[in-house]
Amino acid sequence: MNEPKPDLSPLLPDNATLKERRAALVESVSPGGPDPQAASAWRRRGPRLALGAVLGLAVVAVALIVSAGGDNAPAAFAVEPQEGGGVRIEVYSLEDAPGLERALAQAGIRSQVTWLPAGMLCREPHYSPSIVHLPGGGSLGGFEMGGPGDALTISVGSTRRWRERFGEHMRGEISDREYYRSIANFNLDPEAFRPDQSVVISGSPVPYGGDPEGGSAAKVGVAEGPVEPCVPVSAPARSIGSIGLPQSAGGGTEGAPGGDEAPPQTPTVAESSDVPAEAPPAPGQFLYTKTKVVQLQGWLPNGPGTGSKSNPRHFTAHVPGNYPNAPAALVPTVKEVWTDPDGKTRVRETLGQVDFFSGTDQKRWENAGSPPPFEYDPKDHDVRRNGSGRLVKEFASRSWRGPRVFSNVSKLSQLPTAPEALRLAIEHPRGGSSPVDPSPANSHRGGVTAERLMEILSEPITSAALRAAALNALAEIPGIGLKRGVADVAGRRGDAITWIRERGFGHELIFDPRTSKVLAQAEMIFGEPAASEYGVAPGTVFRESAFLRSGVVDSMRETAAEAGGGPVATASTDRRK
């Protein structure tokens, strides 16, 4: 070859990944079924902290942190029957673990409860994680709780009753006081548990109110099959103190800041110092985002063109929709946008290799002088080639929201960060009533809800807790799917929310399950009839945006990496156009 071979190493598995894949491969060919060792290696990172984990939890008051002794807590827990059936257990401390296990068993829930010394965790995995599917949609899996607050409360009873109660409160039919007195942090529905499923709860003291063991925090999971005894191991530094977010945002949305760093009585995640900066840029600063967009475009060389008369654009993004027969090409663009607090933007688009599906079309296009697929008006756009010969188009613009570009930030920070609460809040922003269970995505109401949740996820500045809640609320809507191990156009792997809409078209939203950060959004053809109509394979993406980098910078020439000495420091907020 006359050109050096590209270095493919970033695209090849690293040693650790290779080992894991080896284990999975060996397992799949081993006689006598999966080898438990090998299985746990991949399962560990699988469902446990994943999306769907806290669905059905409607926790408003956040936390389990209790003073372990105290005048009003002579017993470790109290059980009382609840209105509408079942029981409500108020847990002041997990110290009487066997007693709590018995109480839960009496109410119909098998459990393992462990009380650990400060700074200890159960060695994982000690059970196979599982998810309880709830009647009416939604599910319950693992989550962590911590932060100042009242006792942990668990109710055992029907999901329907639980949700009705929640709805009554949202609609203002019952008072806050009555609600908090009657409802628990989470509900366990014995009807929803399979016979092999059980609840695993572990907790340990954490610093609170100046006392190094003044409070406690807990981890709740659902197991299937046998649960091994908890083997206490030292927790990594601060892991108890900062549970919930952002590490487990995909699974535990209820976490409030806990531990030694959080000021006591801090009620919401939004105020946590553990969560990266989520504020809009100050005057004189800019929000920088870098997005890779790959879009299917059609070339219409004989059409009138659009845009400026002197330089008409002969490409259209309306493929396959309006122009199923236009020669189609994948057009990759890296789009960088600097947005100032007034909504003014500078945009830099670097065009990648235009890649036609057919070699003949590619030749025709090249013979026509490789006309760029973007709109070009010399008055407004500055187009040149960069050092690598790529076409770069720069222009000044305005955010479509204008000066209100970041005005949503404070509103968003007021939204509840429990999935069900978030859904109800956006379904009736001014009160009003609605069904308690989520409506299916293909119904009008469900569709509107899904749209709004996706809008939240596409906001430029949101908290990890809100994103996690939005993802979880989305996943709870019947008709919304979840795929694991999906790669985005930048090769990053995550899980994906899928929403198949009319005629086989749909969206895919790929996110990192550990941070709830949206990695990419894709519009695609999932199946029939669109796939046949346009002659493409099911799963064909026609537009994908991968959010590569973002952060607040001090100049319109600066990128986030330059500003903060590394992507981790500056790209923590997130992405987006």
CA proximity to 110, closest of 15, 200, 20, 26: 200
Q: How far is the CB of 536 from another protein (least distance, A)?
A: 12
Note whether 482 binds another protein by CB under 8 A: no
- Binding segment for another protein (CB under 8 A), chosen from 235-243, 271-279, 450-458, 563-571, is 563-571
Our CB check for another protein shows the closer of 381 and 393 to be: 393
Q: How far is the CB of 508 from another protein (least distance, A)?
A: 13
Note whether 348 binds another protein by CB under 8 A: no
Q: How far is the CB of 255 from another protein (least distance, A)?
A: 21
What is the rounded CA–CA span in Å between residue 150 and residue 130? 28
Place of tokens 């080639």: 385
Q: How far is the CB of 482 from another protein (least distance, A)?
A: 13
Our CB check for another protein shows the closer of 156 and 546 to be: 546
- Binding segment for another protein (CB under 8 A), chosen from 20-28, 143-151, 198-206, 455-463, is 20-28
Q: Which position among 17, 175, 322, 386 is part of the footprint of another protein (CB under 8 A)?
A: 17
Note whether 29 binds another protein by CB under 8 A: yes
CA proximity to 501, closest of 521, 519, 484, 526: 526
Our CB check for another protein shows the closer of 305 and 332 to be: 332
Q: How far is the CB of 555 from another protein (least distance, A)?
A: 20
Note whether 367 binds another protein by CB under 8 A: no
Please tell me the count of residues contacting another protein according to CB under 8 A. Answer: 59
H/E run at residue 467: helix 464-476
Q: How far is the CB of 538 from another protein (least distance, A)?
A: 10
What is the rounded CA–CA span in Å between residue 263 and residue 502? 49
Q: How far is the CB of 92 from another protein (least distance, A)?
A: 38
Which amino acid appears at position 534 of this protein? Y
Residue 256's CB is within 10 A of a number of other CB atoms, namely 30
What is the rounded CA–CA span in Å between residue 86 and residue 89? 10
Note whether 492 binds another protein by CB under 8 A: yes
CA angle at 221 for the pair 215 and 224, rounded to the nearest 5°: 155
* Secondary structure class of 17 (helix, strand, coil): helix
Task: Please say whether the beta carbons of 213 and 178 come within 8 A.
Answer: no
What is the rounded CA–CA span in Å between residue 357 and residue 300? 15
Note whether 46 binds another protein by CB under 8 A: yes
Note whether 37 binds another protein by CB under 8 A: no
Our CB check for another protein shows the closer of 124 and 150 to be: 124
Which amino acid appears at position 358 of this protein? S
Q: How far is the CB of 534 from another protein (least distance, A)?
A: 17
Contacts of another protein in 378-397 (CB under 8 A): none
- Binding segment for another protein (CB under 8 A), chosen from 259-267, 304-312, 351-359, 460-468, is 351-359
Note whether 31 binds another protein by CB under 8 A: yes
Note whether 21 binds another protein by CB under 8 A: yes
**Helices marked H in 171-265:** 176-182
Cα–Cα distances in Å, from 246 out to 192, 420, 467?
Answer: 29, 19, 11
Helices and strands in the chain: count of H runs, count of E runs? 13, 25
- Binding segment for another protein (CB under 8 A), chosen from 56-64, 87-95, 312-320, 543-551, is 543-551
- Binding segment for another protein (CB under 8 A), chosen from 67-75, 227-235, 424-432, 484-492, is 484-492
Note whether 3 binds another protein by CB under 8 A: yes
Residue 362's CB is within 10 A of a number of other CB atoms, namely 16
Which amino acid appears at position 34 of this protein? P
CA proximity to 288, closest of 547, 12, 27, 13: 547
* Secondary structure class of 328 (helix, strand, coil): strand
The one-character DSSP state at 422 is: H
Which chain residues interact with another protein by CB under 8 A? 1-3, 5-13, 16-31, 41-42, 45-46, 292, 332, 352-353, 355, 359, 362, 484-487, 490-494, 512-514, 519, 537, 546, 548-549, 567-568, 571
